[in-house]
Structure 1
């Protein structure tokens, strides 16, 4: 059953890879469903790299994703720590609101955000990372609260007795212990920011600021979608996220499981 599941999951990625090496005629010809291309070509890769500027879109996505990850993790860490450690009325309601906000459809905020960016003159810029918080911050806070709850309060009390300030306790005691959860949250935030499409295509319409999903969506003419170029671009832009997951898979698994066991 696991083998069948893996085949089903991996097959779309494999098919995109195969399609990227097929000529346009072959994609729609007799060998459209062939696993091995009759006449493999790199033409689609040359077009998306040298003509469509896919590397520029990758750079934009890296800038936006890394910036979003850094500031979201910073804000979410302090917010989650405060929710986890401080006792106040409405704490459960606040967590419920945080979870509910993460479920809001993006289309609800597109209009107000776009009007605000027009008024501020921030369209077609890297300020797009600011509204990304609407889709990443609630999730990050919710995950980190779970991890902070697993850290014994006795450790923090011992640090205070030794003279540590609240901030020293956070970054010397709590943060290192919650590092697997923080790291996993950062990876998830990065991937969400990397794949975001609706905000990016609405706010950044100029090619020099387009992110990867937007750039791929423009690989078409008035009459057809350039499936060969789409497949080639998809293969190229999948590499960064694939490398991140492969290099940090142990940390990701550790972070996902560490917050799920109550001692």
Structure 2
């Protein structure tokens, strides 16, 4: 019974703020001052404001583009690196994994200002590469740490059997090892995508215009229909829109994500 009560409380704690934002996004005009949970009348006014805003649409394009590029690059590089860490014996192997774990928990805000100064000097400030590079610096170590656990669990004999049958090392890796590690690859990709999609610190620090500013940072500059209107409800509508891709990805790949998280935790 206590487990049930605890579960309900945790779910309510997590869902109530989300439901409140969703409800707020459907409040139009003066209804925003309505203290009730549900809007007096459903209105799509805030969504029309957001979807007609160049600021939001440009930021959405930036977020989608940079998230896909950084996620694909991170997963490819991390897959190769994690395979090497799992299969090869070399000095400093444990140190590599330790450093990778250390980087994943390193406070991003501590390097934001140095990067700001460096990027202005080298010409990467307010550009896609100027954001993608820091994203990769944090996402690749995370992916390496996650994927190395999966590669260690794959029997070495399966790769050797493929090579005995005539496959090269690259063919055995691509056709045998990677498919077996698919749950881990999906897990690393989803975690990387979520981390980049939700980034605010780099987005607000390393940009100064709409050229490369992602959605989380752009929402801080959102002003609604006019400079005199309260932007709370339009920001809520924008938050609902940018949450949809996350929800869709989780629903589509939930089985792979769960399999990836549980398989990776079997043994280290």
Asked if 1:204 is matched to 2:207, the reply is: yes
Counterpart of 1:54 in structure 2 is: 56
* Distance across 2 between alignment mates of 1:232 and 1:60: 18
Q: Which residues in structure 2 correspond to 1:185-204 (within 5 Å)?
A: 185-204=188-207
Length, aligned pairs only: 260
Unaligned runs of 5+ in 1: none
* Distance across 1 between alignment mates of 2:162 and 2:54: 56
What TM-score do you get using the length of structure 2 for normalisation? 0.89
Q: Among residues 71, 77, 100, which one is paired with 2:102 in the alignment?
A: 100
Tell me the secondary structure at the aligned position of residue 131 of structure 1.
helix
Counterpart of 2:32 in structure 1 is: 27
* Distance across 2 between alignment mates of 1:184 and 1:107: 25
* Distance across 2 between alignment mates of 1:90 and 1:25: 63
Counterpart of 1:231 in structure 2 is: 236
* Distance across 1 between alignment mates of 2:173 and 2:147: 13
Q: Which residues in structure 2 correspond to 1:66-85 (within 5 Å)?
A: 66-85=68-87
Q: What's the offset of the Cα at 1:146?
A: 0.6
Counterpart of 1:171 in structure 2 is: 174
Range 4-13 or range 188-197, more displaced = 4-13
Counterpart of 1:131 in structure 2 is: 134
Q: What's the offset of the Cα at 1:9?
A: 1.5
Tell me the secondary structure at the aligned position of residue 52 of structure 2.
helix
Asked if 1:247 is matched to 2:252, the reply is: yes
Range 53-62 or range 244-253, more displaced = 53-62
Conservation of the 8 A alpha-carbon contact between 2:113 and 2:205: no
Q: Among residues 133, 158, 163, which one is paired with 1:155 in the alignment?
A: 158
Evaluate the alpha carbon distance shift between residue 73 and residue 64 of structure 1 in structure 2; reply closer, same or farther with a 3 A threshold. same
Q: What's the offset of the Cα at 1:262?
A: 4.4
Unaligned runs of 5+ in 2: none
Q: What's the offset of the Cα at 1:218?
A: 1.2
* Distance across 1 between alignment mates of 2:208 and 2:89: 45
Q: Among residues 255, 258, 264, which one is paired with 1:259 in the alignment?
A: 264
Asked if 1:64 is matched to 2:66, the reply is: yes
Counterpart of 1:182 in structure 2 is: 185
What TM-score do you get using the length of structure 1 for normalisation? 0.91
